Chain A
Amino acid sequence: MIIGKISENREALIELEVIGVNWQQRIVATIDTGFDGYLTLSLYMINQLGLRPAGYRQAILGDGNRVVFNLFRARVVWVSKTREVPVLQVEGDPLVGMALLDGNRVIMNVVKDGQVRIENLPLVEMFLQIRIEDNWHFISSMSSNVTRKCQTMNLMKSIGYVVKSLQDSIMM
């Protein structure tokens, strides 16, 4: 489990152990759901950690501009295991993107100093999630069948009630 907190500026911050060839370091990173990659680090941090290069990649920024970035690789201690992830060299504070969060559950109490918690998505829920996505049409049609059945049962009940009322009135 990874525990972080909400900053004064309402950023979700987490601490992350990043391992390079030269060094390993605990960094503070901001969760950014608008970033679809894994992790960004500044050139200074990349040099300090001694990350190995992995070529060049383009990324589209929020203003629509395409920019070419250097890509590196780092090992990151994540929830319950160490993973090797691509790291984009971007100046500014480190960002954690949606690809690193994939398969996890993120809970945030969005108040100042509120807790941010990242944990493994329980296997049962991951399975159910997949089942729901794969079988959505089946589940929808099943639920409408159930609705129809309920409606039919209500009609039968109503008919039964009318018949019983008639019987009662005849007997009186």
Chain B
Amino acid sequence: MHKSDITPEVIAMRGEELYQQKIRDEVETANKGKYLVVDIDTGDYAIADEDLVATDRLLSKRPNATVYGLRIGFPAAYRIGFKVSVPTQ
């Protein structure tokens, strides 16, 4: 499959799979709150306090890598807007 055929959703799914199955157990306890970026083709990853620092570290190994990033111990890398819900009666 050509890289441009892969949708962002598929890249995110592949990145989450790699993290959950191969990376999480090794890193989660000691790195909560840090940013982790993973090369979805090779499974290589980098961790840093700042998102772009981790990204640069990973891209220094393979500049054309397809990169997916997450925040360790958080449900997503970023949050846009506070969570609201309608009260149930």
Contact = CB atoms under 8 A, between A and B. Distances in A.
A62 B8 contact: no
B23 interface: no
Interface in B41-89: 51-52, 55, 66-70, 75-85
A78 interface: no
A95 interface: yes
Interface of B: 8-9, 11-12, 15, 37, 51-52, 55, 66-70, 75-85
Chain A: interface secondary structure? strand
Interface in A42-71: 54-64, 66, 68-71
Contact of A59 (B37, B51, B77, B83): B77
A71 B80 contact: no
Interface of A: 32, 34-37, 40, 54-64, 66, 68-71, 73, 84-86, 88, 90, 95, 97
A30 B47 CA distance: 30
A128 B77 CA distance: 30
Contacts of B8: 56, 68-70
Given A58-B70, A58-B78, 6 more contacts: A35-B78, A35-B81, A58-B12, A63-B81, A68-B8, A88-B80
7 contacts: A35-B81, A56-B15, A56-B68, A59-B76, A59-B79, A62-B80, A88-B78
A90 B37 CA distance: 20
A50 B50 CA distance: 22
A32 B75 CA distance: 20
A73 B80 CA distance: 18
Nearest to B81: A62
A57 B77 contact: yes
A91 to B, nearest CB: 12
Given A56-B8, A68-B9, A34 B70 contact: no
B54 to A, nearest CB: 10
8 closest Cβ pairs, A-B complex: A62-B81, A55-B67, A57-B77, A59-B78, A58-B76, A68-B8, A37-B78, A68-B12
A100 to B, nearest CB: 12
Contacts of B37: 55
A54 B68 CA distance: 9
A9 to B, nearest CB: 16
A55 B69 contact: yes
